[in-house]
Structure formats: C-alpha cells, structure tokens
Structure 1
C-alpha cells in the first residue's frame, strides 16, 4: 500500500533539498529519522516533518505500523519562483529568483501481507547462494595472496646491496 504526503511552496531551492532527499531515499522509517535528526542542513527539519506526516497518514488511514514502512519514492520538484531585484552600479538592477520546492514522499510497506512469503523465500535462497559464493571468493583471495607473497620474496632476493642512490626532487 502506497502512502503519500506532500509539502508545497517550501522556500528552499530544490537543488539543496535534493541533497538531503538522496540521503534518505530507500531507507526505513527509523533509519531515515535518525539520518534527518543528525543532518546539519536547513531542509532536514522540513523533510523530517514531512516524514512524520506521511507516517501519521499510514497509521491513521491504513492502520500500518511505523516499523514496517520504508521510503519508496521521494520527488523534489520546482515550485513557483519569487522574482526580486538587487540594485547594482549606475542605476541598474539584477534579477534575483527566490526558488521554492514541491516535495512528494511516498512510503510503502516492507513486509506486505499478500505475497510477502514468496519474496522472503527468494531472498533467503539468494542469501544462501551468496554465502556459498562469498566462501569461494575468500578461498581464491587467500590463494592469490600466497602467490603474491612468494613473488614478492623472490624480487627482494634479487636486489643488490650497495646500489647507487639517486637524488629525486619531491613533487611541488
């Protein structure tokens, strides 16, 4: 079930909000909340309020639990621009655009009630297969390390004592 919440006409540029939105996209509610609490940006508190609003919508309208929600989509669009002017030299003026943002956040369930068992079963199979592959990779890497060490030792033995030192200037 997809739950959405919108925040319109936020007086922060979309470019700045997207930086924060990218941090929490795809995260669970708890992780996103922690990230936003410790993010030192102006828009983080606004996104935290929007996240709490979306969770409240899920709890009240659909009777879903906080722990079972994740951010499936977060879209930051441009809102209307406020046109202002800035005085310049010789009686001229420059145009300033105060940008606004429209944010749409969509939450979804982590474990869906219908068809959730099939997804969990496939995830378990993938994890088991991945575990076997990881073991074989570790064995291969240990074999590679031993060959590298033996090559390294051979090269060390070939170095002659008393080689002439060459002056090398350090990079600027």
Structure 2
C-alpha cells in the first residue's frame, strides 16, 4: 500500500533540494532517516521531517510496519516563484527570482501484507457495486417508446450539407 506525504511551498530552489532527494530514493525508510541525519545540506531537515510524517501516516493510519517501508518515489517539483527587484548600475533594476519547491514522498511496503478482514470487506463492496450496476443496466433497457403526434411522423428533417456548419457568416 502506498503512503503519500507532501510539502508545499518550501522556500528553497528545487535544484538544491533534488541533490538531497536523490540520496534517499529507493532505500529503506529507516536507512533514509539515518542518511538525512548526517547530510550537511539545508534541505535535509525538511525532507527528514516529511519522511518521518510519511512513516507516521503509514504506521498510524494504515497500520503498516515501519521496518517494511521503503522510499518508492520522491519528487521535487518547482513551485511558485516570488519575484523581487535589485537596484543595479546606471538606474537599472534586475529581477531576483525566489524559487519554491513542492516535495512529494511515496512510501511503499517491501513485502506486501494484507489482512484477511480487508479482503473480505473489499469482496463484499465489489459485490454490492456489481449488483448496483446490474440494476442500472436493467432499468436502462426498459425504456418506454413515445408515440409522436401525427404532424411530426411524416416530416423528415432535411440536412443542409456540411459547408454551412463550418463556414458561417455570423458568429454566435
């Protein structure tokens, strides 16, 4: 089961954050925490906090084992850019772009574990959905045919052709 944690609008360039993110991609979650502990980069602390949040989500919300988790995917995308201006020589101004990062961590289990109770619940839900679909299909097949009035029975609408549909003089 995949567990996702996101950090939005982290005020550091995505290029700098990706250096740290590449270190933990694909490794065991506990090993990634140890790796981030000793990395001498500013982005290591928020990524470590995000990873611990994802682990806590997996343990508390999905009742997965911490020892069975690994970093399946970590993505660092560019977020919104804050623009500022810096005075330069001869009355000019140059733009300063303060970039932000969107960090997404996906954890997954090394060895899939499913409880028997979960499988039974999912089967009963699937059976209920199938019954609903059958009922909808049966009601759709029992359509009533409406009889048109005498005037519209014999009248057949003539098609004006293909060109008037495309080349209209007036819009709207």
TM-score by length of 1: 0.65
Please name the residue that 1:7 is paired with.
Answer: 7
Please name the residue that 2:51 is paired with.
Answer: 51
Please name the residue that 1:96 is paired with.
Answer: 96
Higher gyration radius (CA): 2
- Pairing of 1:1-172 with structure 2 (within 5 A): 1-113=1-113
Q: CA deviation at 1:88?
A: 0.3
Deviations 1:28-72 (A, max 9, x none): 011100110000000000000000000011011100111110000
Q: Runs of 4+ in structure 1 displaced over 4 angstroms?
A: none
State the alpha-carbon separation in 1 of the partners of residues 48 and 113 from structure 2: 27
The aligned length equals 114
Please name the residue that 1:135 is paired with.
Answer: none
State the alpha-carbon separation in 2 of the partners of residues 29 and 80 from structure 1: 29
State the alpha-carbon separation in 2 of the partners of residues 104 and 45 from structure 1: 15
Q: CA deviation at 1:90?
A: 1.2
* Secondary structure of residue in 2 paired with 1:95: strand
Q: CA deviation at 1:95?
A: 0.3
More helix by share: 1
Structure 1 segments unaligned to the other structure (5+ residues)? 115-172
TM-score by length of 2: 0.65
State the alpha-carbon separation in 1 of the partners of residues 97 and 20 from structure 2: 22
State the alpha-carbon separation in 2 of the partners of residues 68 and 96 from structure 1: 44
State the alpha-carbon separation in 2 of the partners of residues 49 and 86 from structure 1: 34
* Secondary structure of residue in 1 paired with 2:53: helix
Please name the residue that 1:159 is paired with.
Answer: none
* Secondary structure of residue in 1 paired with 2:27: coil
Q: CA deviation at 1:113?
A: 2.0
Structure 2 segments unaligned to the other structure (5+ residues)? 115-172
Question: Alpha carbon RMSD of aligned pairs, Å?
Answer: 0.7
